[in-house]
Structure 1
Amino acid sequence: MNNSKQILVAILLVFTVVSSYALPHNSVKPSEISIITHDLAVPEYIELRKSYEIESPFGMHITYKQFIHNKEVLFAGVRIHWKKNGTYSIQDFLIRENIENVSDESTMLLSTESGLREVRMANNPDLVYPTTQFIDLDGTMLLEIDDYKHAKKDTTLHSQVFWLNPINTANTSYGGNYTDNLDQTNPSLDSQLRWVSNTVQFENDTFFFESEFLSFTDISAPVDGHFFSINDSVQANRDNDWFEYLNVYYHINVMGQYANDLGYDALTQHLEVDVHAFGTADNSAYSPDDHTLQFGIGGVDDGEDGEVVIHEFTHSLSEVASPDNTVGNERAAMEEGSCDYFAKAYSRSLNDNTPNKIFSWDGHNQFWDGFVINQKRDYPIDLKGSKDGDRDMWATALMCAHDFIGRNAMDSILLEHFYYQKANSTMAEMAQIILTIDSGDFGNRYHSQLKQCFVDAGFIARGASVSNPIQKGFKVLNQNGFIVGDGNLTIEINTPASYKIYNTAGQLIQSGNPTSKLTLSPSDFSKGLYVVYFTINGKSVSQKILR
């Protein structure tokens, strides 16, 4: 929220890339805490509790929340990314600060400019703009955040939808025949409708609008009841209340299937959707608490604009990837900017009309101003310090990269980056993470194009050196067996190399002459972290291992 009272201190991101072999995803990992504790030197007063686990095409992403004296430190913790290529990386957003003399009156701690404070959580149940408040023991509200972010068989049903929205497909501006006019239609608006095919559920001669991605329900007023059809074709234009169901259903299914095809089916969890919501308010929202979408009917009905639909749907993907961390002005602006980007990338997959406008039918009219993209603003000097004031800065840089490397590549990178989001992150930090994702998961294929767009935006200083991945030239086998002591660890080396192994105290444990295969027995090592240094073609390369 733009007027939120926030006195959180910034949490420094430490992005540590450590080579290792990923442990099996479904196994109990008593060593995982050991890896994190060793690599990050976690103080003894900090307890880490596993809170979330999700898989992407490139690995498993596991989040641990931070606790001190059995109290959760809000928005603090660690995320470890086990990569399928045998490496792992750790994101450190711990609060390394102890607190004494805690009370029994709260279960949470919040980091502020004056240190850790005990807080209680309270809900403000506003119909349109509900918030969660964090209040200290003296009754002072320290932080307020938005709650909204964001036996049948398959068959096919045909319906009419806007092929995004009528302003976009007609390549025009709001006005004249292209106005809301209290939901009335006209030949100009009807000419922008397109017949499409939908996968629906069929039972007892009835077609139900349900799919793996969504189903409809009533969440807030007005009440519609369940939506179904007894015919396999539904012709409804925008003056019919059915139209928003048809439009939302089609676009979410297309985008959901697209995300699945890119390999991100773990993110497309089933949504319950209300297409006529919030009374007469001109607002739409995703609720992470119950994984629902609501589309308002004030002004132009939000469900009529495909860009609004895709924007809100993307909030659900982001939240599933890394939940409960949309805190901080830049983090909130990036959340909106990423969703704006996906909406416009989807729009541009259909046509290149209205390239600089987001929500060109729902907004950019007398109801509200809409948002823009492809703007030239310089980070950080041009930051306005608000969610909506800075969203275009992030979205513009993403669209720049889209134009260089294409939709599929940029969408894949951005979906992967959702797993790395954290509270109070900055655009500069997340730009570096996107470059790291490209380096580690996409073979550094798009490095120069991404860097150019981020330099132009100001996220990376012009002329700054951005590290590329080191091609180490070796592969680690059976790291897990070595950790638990029931098998040797083998390092296969492309070019014969000499080696030295040190413990964390800097003591030399073992060394050897050039070899192309190094085999280590767990019986020769005590429990702990070790670093193997290889000399390959005159260069020293390190590899961390855990016993």
Structure 2
Amino acid sequence: MSCIQAQAQNMEEMPKQVFLNYRVEVKELPGSGRILSQILPLIPEHVLKPENFSLLTYKESPVGYHYLYQYQIQGIPVEGQFVRVFVDKKMTLRQLIWQLRGTHLSATATFGDPEILRQRLAHLKHVGEINKVWKFYPEGWQALLKASVIEDIAAFAEYRFYDANYQEIYQIDNAARFEGKDSMIQAHVFFPDPLTSSQMPYGGAYLDFNDADSPAINNERVWRPIITDFVNDSFYLRDSVFRFAELENPLSQQPVLLGPFADFTRNQQEFEFVNSYYHLQTWIRRVHDLGYPLPGLPIQVDPHAANGADISGFSPVFGDMALLFGEGGIDDAEDADVVVHELGHALSYSVSPGTNNGLERTSFEEGNCDYFAMSYSRQISNFGWEKTFNWDGNVTWQGRVVNTEKVMPANYTSNKYSNAEVWVAALREVYDSVGPDITDRLVLCALYNQVTQMTFAQMANNCLQCDSILNNGVNHTLIFNAMNSRGLAFPLGFKEPQSSNWSLLNSAGFAFRGEALRVDFGGQTFNGSAEVYDIQGKLLYSVRLDDALYFELDEPVNEKGLYLLRIHSDTNLSVTYRIARH
């Protein structure tokens, strides 16, 4: 068993990702920790044993089995260090992604007392679990206490880290069952929002009016079926996934229906309960119909939250996962885009918990959730599909778009929401070409292999791998081109591609039969260089070409995997090809 020759990325903090076709032997059911003993020898530069890890999550998806192991020292977890394993249904190892640093160094430090820290944080609105964790820095290991806290609004929940002297070191975003008989009733809801259904812009008769009733807005309500819990002659808005809870101000009484009709107007607090419940239930039913049994855990919903602010969010700090919808500006629970977007965060968390850290990682998370919102609303109506949050994004903000012309890295910013527009634009292009079913399945599949500090390029690779399993790779070129045209297919800063009359020949023979790959320069002599990079952007091979009519690549790339072949001329013409060895 030979080690994979995977190289570190340009930024040490980013995880390493490799794609394989390696048979694993598992004599017991998937989910067992024994699979790790077969995986660890494949990871270079580390001599680790299964007892150095704990199985953090195990999920089965339509394409295979997904394991997330957390590295630990002396039984205490190491923050941000892990091994993520993806094995398909044929028990073939398809992907490894890991972040392991400082494993050769001993860790000796003193932890603070969790109970003392809890007392010192008593002024905060909510303090959840406080756990001991190790954190690696270039100068060595540090012993920290990790606290899940809410200072004011639950949508801004976060993890905070404290040293042995109870000084805050840094913080990261955290967020952002019933008895009885199922009974279907009819509910008055927006479908998906009053502007999309009326095909009108915001203004005139189609204003929020500070949540007051108006004939034009009320007329956009339609009757839709919802599943309720029927107990003792009353209908309750709850099912096996969703239930309402009073998690934050403002206080509001959830409706208990005495008959099979939920008929409320938007100036009544009950309307947001019914409207959000319908869209949550409808989208999760579609997710199940596509073959994904998510989220697998109950979700609490508060449609009147955030202390009345114009903010909505997902939070896992209330025991069960929670969706919280604010009331500032236009009530968020009135807009199906907001509802489905926040549910997208819950679905992501349910299969990749605790991984939404790092700017690129949080950016494509927002983009995925914007995609879910777009896909849901667009399957109802094409009107205004270019904008996300068509109804909510009008008073205090203007929403986002899914058809931006922005590209990476030129438009890369520290704002994850701005970056998200680039990611969702690529997914939208795939949607336009192959439709919602294929694209929805693709994005849902990719959620299972997310890790902390993941990059756009690594998530793009996840999408490509999902297509290869779900659709035999028939959409590979389409997906790659959509990502590549927006600078998402390669590590940021890798400037590609420009146009040329060069031709890539025999890529299939190179990939499957071990033959040489050839780049033909269109009958003209070429002066410049040819370079081969691994998929993380690490240079593996470079050669100078003078007066060449073609270039052939063979021996320098023997290991199975994905590679980048970059041809760069002395006249500054540059093209990168994505190549593979199977």
1:362 to 375, 392, 399: 392
Asked if the contact 2:314/2:324 (under 8 Å) is kept, the reply is yes
Match of 1:96 in 2: 101
Equivalents in 2 of 1:333, 1:45: separation in Å? 32
Instruction: Give the secondary structure class of the aligned counterpart of 1:457.
Output: coil
Amino acid at match of 2:38: I
1:236 to 247, 253, 264: 264
Is 1:134 matched up with 2:169? no
Q: CA 1:467 to 1:194, structure 2 compared with 1: closer, same or farther past 3 Å?
A: farther
Amino acid at match of 1:238: R
Equivalents in 1 of 2:252, 2:469: separation in Å? 48
Equivalents in 2 of 1:371, 1:394: separation in Å? 12
Shift in Å at residue 141 of structure 1? 4.3
Q: CA 1:405 to 1:114, structure 2 compared with 1: closer, same or farther past 3 Å?
A: farther
Q: CA 1:77 to 1:459, structure 2 compared with 1: closer, same or farther past 3 Å?
A: same
Is 1:146 matched up with 2:173? yes
Is 1:62 matched up with 2:32? no
Q: CA 1:80 to 1:28, structure 2 compared with 1: closer, same or farther past 3 Å?
A: closer
Asked if the contact 1:22/1:84 (under 8 Å) is kept, the reply is no
Shift in Å at residue 138 of structure 1? 6.3
Structure 1: 5+ residue stretches without partners: 1-7, 473-530, 532-540
Q: CA 1:58 to 1:241, structure 2 compared with 1: closer, same or farther past 3 Å?
A: same
Match of 1:52 in 2: 57
Is 1:351 matched up with 2:378? no
Shift in Å at residue 204 of structure 1? 1.8
Shift in Å at residue 139 of structure 1? 6.0
Equivalents in 2 of 1:53, 1:252: separation in Å? 25
Query: What do the CA deviations read for 1:69-124 (whole angstroms, capped 9, x no partner)?
Result: 44422121111112113312342323232333511316322244655433222344
Match of 1:501 in 2: none
Equivalents in 2 of 1:179, 1:391: separation in Å? 28
Instruction: Give the secondary structure class of the aligned counterpart of 1:199.
Output: strand
- Name whichever of 379-388 and 329-338 sits farther off: 379-388
Equivalents in 1 of 2:439, 2:61: separation in Å? 16
2:457 to 428, 433, 437: 428
Asked if the contact 1:145/1:327 (under 8 Å) is kept, the reply is yes
Instruction: Give the secondary structure class of the aligned counterpart of 2:209.
Output: coil
Match of 2:231 in 1: 203
Match of 1:15 in 2: 18
1:270 to 282, 295, 298: 298
Equivalents in 2 of 1:542, 1:380: separation in Å? 28
Is 1:417 matched up with 2:446? yes
For 1:481-496, list aligned pairs within 5 A: none
Asked if the contact 2:148/2:174 (under 8 Å) is kept, the reply is no
Asked if the contact 1:375/1:392 (under 8 Å) is kept, the reply is yes
Shift in Å at residue 42 of structure 1? 6.3
Instruction: Give the secondary structure class of the aligned counterpart of 2:372.
Output: helix
Shift in Å at residue 410 of structure 1? 0.6
Match of 2:91 in 1: 86
Amino acid at match of 2:426: A
Equivalents in 2 of 1:408, 1:36: separation in Å? 33
Asked if the contact 1:273/1:293 (under 8 Å) is kept, the reply is yes
Asked if the contact 1:260/1:268 (under 8 Å) is kept, the reply is no
Is 1:297 matched up with 2:327? yes
Asked if the contact 2:312/2:342 (under 8 Å) is kept, the reply is yes
- Name whichever of 457-466 and 233-242 sits farther off: 457-466
Instruction: Give the secondary structure class of the aligned counterpart of 1:182.
Output: helix
Match of 2:345 in 1: 315
Equivalents in 1 of 2:169, 2:196: separation in Å? 43
For 1:94-173, list aligned pairs within 5 A: 94-97=99-102, 98-100=104-106, 102-105=108-111, 107-112=132-137, 116-128=141-153, 129-137=156-164, 141-149=168-176, 151-173=179-201
Instruction: Give the secondary structure class of the aligned counterpart of 1:80.
Output: strand
Q: CA 1:187 to 1:50, structure 2 compared with 1: closer, same or farther past 3 Å?
A: same
Equivalents in 2 of 1:325, 1:425: separation in Å? 9
Instruction: Give the secondary structure class of the aligned counterpart of 1:100.
Output: coil
Amino acid at match of 2:487: G
Shift in Å at residue 24 of structure 1? 6.5
Instruction: Give the secondary structure class of the aligned counterpart of 1:291.
Output: strand
Match of 2:405 in 1: 376
Shift in Å at residue 125 of structure 1? 2.3
Match of 1:502 in 2: none
Is 1:462 matched up with 2:497? yes
Equivalents in 2 of 1:205, 1:257: separation in Å? 26
Query: What do the CA deviations read for 1:311-354 (whole angstroms, capped 9, x no partner)?
Result: 01111100011110111111111111100010011111011111
Asked if the contact 2:26/2:34 (under 8 Å) is kept, the reply is no
Asked if the contact 1:9/1:111 (under 8 Å) is kept, the reply is no
Asked if the contact 1:305/1:359 (under 8 Å) is kept, the reply is yes
Amino acid at match of 2:111: E
Is 1:191 matched up with 2:235? no
Shift in Å at residue 212 of structure 1? 2.2
Asked if the contact 1:95/1:111 (under 8 Å) is kept, the reply is no
Match of 2:46 in 1: 43
Match of 1:213 in 2: 241
For 1:400-411, list aligned pairs within 5 A: 400-411=429-440
Equivalents in 1 of 2:31, 2:192: separation in Å? 46
Q: TM-score, normalised by structure 2?
A: 0.75
Shift in Å at residue 225 of structure 1? 3.3
Asked if the contact 2:254/2:273 (under 8 Å) is kept, the reply is no
1:283 to 299, 311, 314: 311
Shift in Å at residue 37 of structure 1? 1.5
Query: What do the CA deviations read for 1:466-500 (whole angstroms, capped 9, x no partner)?
Result: 9989679xxxxxxxxxxxxxxxxxxxxxxxxxxxx
Structure 2: 5+ residue stretches without partners: 1-10, 113-131, 490-495, 514-558, 560-579
RMSD: 2.8
- Name whichever of 421-430 and 381-390 sits farther off: 381-390
Q: CA 1:413 to 1:374, structure 2 compared with 1: closer, same or farther past 3 Å?
A: same
% same residue? 27
Instruction: Give the secondary structure class of the aligned counterpart of 1:244.
Output: helix
Amino acid at match of 1:144: Q
- Name whichever of 305-314 and 383-392 sits farther off: 383-392
Equivalents in 2 of 1:205, 1:275: separation in Å? 25
Q: How many residues align?
A: 468
Shift in Å at residue 130 of structure 1? 2.7
Match of 1:492 in 2: none
Q: TM-score, normalised by structure 1?
A: 0.80
